Amino acid sequence: MDPLFWLLAANVAVWTGLGAYLALLARNQRDMERRLRQWETLRDA
């Protein structure tokens, strides 16, 4: 196979992995913000 194909395939794999990682970080951030709001609500009650 052409080396250019492998370069493109590796590029797609890297960007897909990076996108998945950023989506995971965004989800974790939302969960942490939700937990913090719950904790603040319970603390102030």
The model's pTM is 0.76
pLDDT at res. 26: 98
Digitized pLDDT (tens) for each residue of the chain, 45 residues in all: 899 999 999 999 999 999 999 999 999 999 999 999 999 999 987
Furthest CA-CA distance within the chain: 66
The encoded tokens of residue 1 equal 């196979």
Q: Count CB-CB contacts under 10 A for residue 3.
A: 7
Q: Count CB-CB contacts under 10 A for residue 16.
A: 10
pLDDT at res. 44: 86
The encoded tokens of residue 8 equal 């493109």
